[in-house]
Amino acid sequence: MAAKRTAKGAPKEPKAAPAPRARRKEAAAAPGARGLPAAELGAGTPPPEITALAEAILGDGGSVLAMYREPVGGAWAILAGLPLARVEPTPFQRDLSEAHVTRLSDVIDKLDCFLDPIIAVRTPSPSGLGRGAEPAAPGEGRYWTPNGNHRRAALLRLGAKSAVALVLPDERIAYRILALNTEKAHNVREKALEVTRMARSLSELDPRPEQEFRLEFEEPSLLTLGLCYEQRPRFSGGAYQSVLRHVDRFLDEPLPEALETRKARAALLLALDDAVAQAVDGLKARGFESPYLKAFVVARINPLRFQRSPDAPFEATLNKMLASAQRFDPASVRPDQVARAAGPPEEHVG
C-alpha cells in the first residue's frame, strides 16, 4: 500500500506500531521493590501541612498519637484520637446498614476494644470541603469519614467518647469513597471455609466446647457448610442456609469431638444435596431451565417453611428432607409454581 502524502506532497512516515502492553504478571514489581522500609516510616521531619493538621487536632480536643509516612507512597499521615462527637460521615455516601451497625457494636462490645481505625479528613469550613474554603478555627473542626461510618455509628451506640483515626491532609480523599471501599465482602463459601479452618486449628490449641467460640465462628451452620465445601468446592451452600439457621446450633462438645459431629452432619447435608440435584435434573428433563430450580426444590421439601419460629433437631429435619427429595415427582410441578416461588423460569429451547 502506498504511503500517505502530506499537503505538500511529501511522503508521510508511517506511525510506529504501539509497543505491546506488558502482561500483568510481567509488570508486577519484585517483592521488596516498592515503598519505604519499616524503620523509615516514622523518620524525617513532617511537612508544614502535617504539623498544622496536628495542631488543629489538638485544638479540637483530640490527641496526636503518631505522625508517620504510609509505607507504599510515602505520604504523611497522622494516627490520632478524635472526639467522637466531631466525627461524621461525608454527606454523599451510602446509607447506614442497621444490621451491620448492630453486628459491629455487638463485636466491639464483646471484645471490649476498638481495633480498626477509621479514615478521616478535617473539614476546612462548616460548608464542607473545597479549594479556597476557609480553614475551621481551632476548636471548631469537624472530621468527615469516607471509610468508617458504620464503625462510627457502632461506637456511638455503645456510648464511646472517642475513636482512633488515620487523619489525612488530602481533602480529596473524602470523595474517594468507592476507591476506599473495594474490599470484597465474604460470601457464604469463603466464610464457611475460614470458620472451619479456624475450628480445626483451635481444636489442637484450645479444645474448649464449641459453643464457647460463638464470637469467632459467628454462625454454627458455617462449620457444617465449611466441611461440605472442602469436599465439594461447587457446593451450593446458600440454598440450605434458610434451613440450617433454624436447626444447626453450637455444640456442647469439645472442639475435637464437635468436629466429628460436624463431619457426620456434613455427610448428611451432601447426601441431601445429591437427592436435590436429582430432583433438579428431573425438572430440567421436563423443560424447566430456571436458575432457581435448586432453591425451588429445597423450599418444597423444607418441613419448616410454614412455621413462624421453627425449632427442630438437625438430623431429624435433614433426614425428613432427604426422604422428601428422594420422593420428589417432577411431573407434579407446574411452570407457574416455579415462577411464583423464585421468578419466572427461563424459556426452554428444545
Report how far residue 198's alpha carbon sits from residue 178's, in angstroms, rounded to the nearest whole number: 31
Residues 275-323 pLDDT 10s: 999 999 999 999 988 888 999 999 999 998 877 666 789 999 999 999 9
Tell me: pLDDT of 340 over 80: no
* Pairing outcome for strands 142-147 and 87-89: parallel
**Which is nearest to 202 in space by CA: 252, 249, 264, 258?**
258
User: Which element (helix H / strand E) includes 147?
Assistant: strand 142-147
Tell me: pLDDT of 344 over 90: no
Residues 96-134 pLDDT 10s: 889 889 999 999 999 999 999 999 999 865 444 544 456
Angle between the 188-205 and 255-285 helix axes, to the nearest 10 degrees? Answer: 160
Task: Tell me the domains of the chain and their CATH numbers.
Answer: 40-180 (3.90.1530.10), 188-342 (no CATH)
pLDDT, residue 170, reads: 87
Residues 6+ apart with CB under 8 A from 184: none
pTM: 0.66
**Which is nearest to 318 in space by CA: 265, 260, 256?**
265
Residues 135-165 pLDDT 10s: 677 677 899 998 899 999 999 999 999 999 9
User: What SS3 string covers 62-83?
Assistant: CEEEEEEECCCCCCEEEEEEEE
Residue 321 CA: distances (Å) to CA of 47, 299, 324, 328: 67, 10, 5, 10
Q: Which three cell numbers stand for residue 237?
A: 451452600
Residues 6+ apart with CB under 8 A from 260: none
Angle between the 149-158 and 98-111 helix axes, to the nearest 10 degrees? Answer: 60
